[in-house]
């Protein structure tokens, strides 16, 4: 091969590479133009309200942290088939959530090329910010002493100022809250203390609302932490029912919220129906006091029986039932009863035991849901096919 041929081939390769890049750039420009035409006239998402409740000041939202000019600039990312990681890392959390929100809205209007890939990149960046956060701020509802439930999720904030502003917005809706601070996953110094995401697992909160009151992201708790390994020997565990605890807290929070709005009775009924549906499938903890069974023949060991402990309210007596050991301990601390022992039991078994009483009370130191015996009888009836 002559030197002329060698240089000629190299030149042809360089020209082909230039043409290839030009074709790719033109295809990219064509894709962007096509997607912009398909979403023409669609405005960028505005700041959403805190929630659907609407009454005077309750409609207020926080001050936006992404300006209209910045929204226009960032919004162009949703048309891209790929978003570089360095671009994401150079954005604030609110900017990332804005792009995530805009992409979801525009994709519903008309499918975006590469949506699955870019949406996953944005979502993963939000998860990274959560994992890297030094502290987590969670609003606790003073009416329930559990995390505030808004819709189907629990609001979580990565900045103290956001949590304080959100608490004021909720206060305008007559939601009294306090801010609880949890250390970030990488900043926990006491491994014996329950992490935020393990705590939310026990509470039954599987959906988080990050930065509610601004552009907000809905996060699955399971994407941040696996369920905790409670006990190696499952036969020795006492019942715990996260889904029921969450539903009970949601019902109690709604009942104790001193507001009026359209369809509130229907909302309460729906939440109560969910509680009853979960109760029928759940196991509970009862407090019982060990006592001697009485005289026994000589040479035989005395057997201990359990005496159930009822709660008196007025002239009526109720069987206390607990969704988990934490609720059980809260009650015993208030009653100052050190003799009681926790006993696991099914819902049907508890209903049978409570027959001589006036009903049951679920988590008396918490939601305190009283169910009269007449309602219990209806709950245990076989469902019509």
pLDDT tens digit string along 336-365? 656 778 889 999 999 999 999 999 999 999
Q: What is the 3-state secondary structure (H, E, C) of 264-286?
A: HHHHHHHHHHHHHHHHCCCEEEE
pLDDT of residue 53: 79
Q: Which two tokens stand for residue 167?
A: 């608490």
155 in the same domain as 118: no
Better pLDDT: 38 or 4? 38
Nearest in space to 162 (alpha carbons), one of 151, 172, 174, 170: 170
215 in the same domain as 140: yes
pLDDT of residue 35: 85
| Within-domain flag for 156 | yes
pLDDT of residue 293: 52
| Within-domain flag for 61 | yes
Better pLDDT: 227 or 153? 153
Look up the domain containing 347 and give its range: 248-292+304-379
| Within-domain flag for 32 | no
Compute the C-alpha angle 202/205/206, nearest 5°: 110
Please tell me the total count of domains within the chain: 3
pLDDT for residue 298 is more than 60: no
pLDDT for residue 148 is more than 90: yes
pLDDT for residue 121 is more than 50: yes
C-alpha 215/C-alpha 63 separation (Å) is 11
pLDDT interval class at 193 (50, 70, 90): confident
Compute the C-alpha angle 381/354/250, nearest 5°: 70
> CATH number, domain at 339?
3.40.1350
pLDDT interval class at 93 (50, 70, 90): very high
105 in the same domain as 86: yes
| Within-domain flag for 11 | no
Better pLDDT: 25 or 247? 247
359 in the same domain as 259: yes
202 in the same domain as 227: yes
């Amino acid at each position: 091969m002559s030197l002329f041929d060698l240089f000629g081939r190299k030149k042809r390769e360089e020209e082909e590479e230039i043409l290839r890049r030009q074709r790719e750039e033109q295809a990219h420009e064509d894709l962007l133009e096509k997607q912009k035409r398909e979403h023409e006239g669609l405005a960028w998402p505005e700041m959403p309200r805190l929630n659907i409740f609407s009454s005077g000041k309750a409609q207020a939202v926080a001050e936006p942290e992404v300006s209209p000019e910045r929204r226009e600039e960032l919004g162009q990312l949703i048309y891209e088939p790929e978003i570089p990681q360095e671009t994401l890392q150079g954005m604030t959390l609110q900017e990332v959530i804005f792009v995530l929100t805009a992409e979801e809205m525009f994709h519903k209007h008309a499918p975006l090329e590469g949506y699955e890939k870019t949406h996953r990149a944005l979502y993963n960046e939000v998860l990274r910010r959560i994992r890297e956060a030094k502290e987590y701020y969670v609003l606790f509802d003073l009416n329930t002493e559990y995390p505030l439930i808004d819709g189907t999720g629990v609001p979580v904030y990565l900045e103290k100022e956001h949590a304080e502003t959100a608490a004021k917005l909720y206060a305008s809706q007559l939601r009294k809250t306090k801010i609880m601070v949890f250390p970030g996953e990488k900043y926990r110094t006491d491994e014996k203390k329950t992490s935020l995401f393990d705590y939310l697992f026990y509470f039954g909160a599987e959906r988080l609302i990050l930065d509610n009151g601004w552009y907000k992201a809905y996060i699955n708790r399971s994407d941040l932490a696996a369920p905790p390994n409670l006990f190696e020997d499952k036969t020795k565990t006492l019942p715990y029912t996260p889904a029921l605890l969450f539903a009970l807290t949601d019902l109690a929070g709604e009942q104790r919220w001193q507001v009026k709005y359209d369809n509130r009775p229907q909302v309460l009924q729906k939440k109560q129906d969910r509680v009853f549906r979960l109760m029928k499938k759940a196991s509970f903890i009862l407090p019982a006091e060990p006592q001697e069974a009485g005289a026994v023949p000589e040479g035989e060991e005395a057997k201990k029986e359990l005496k159930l402990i009822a709660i008196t309210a007025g002239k009526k007596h109720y069987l206390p039932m607990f969704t988990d050991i934490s609720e059980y301990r809260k009650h015993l601390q208030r009653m100052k009863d050190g003799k009681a022992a926790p006993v696991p039991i099914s819902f049907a078994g508890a209903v049978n035991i409570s027959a001589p009483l006036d009903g049951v009370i679920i988590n008396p130191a918490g939601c305190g849901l009283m169910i009269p015996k007449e309602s219990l009888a209806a709950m245990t009836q076989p469902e019509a096919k």
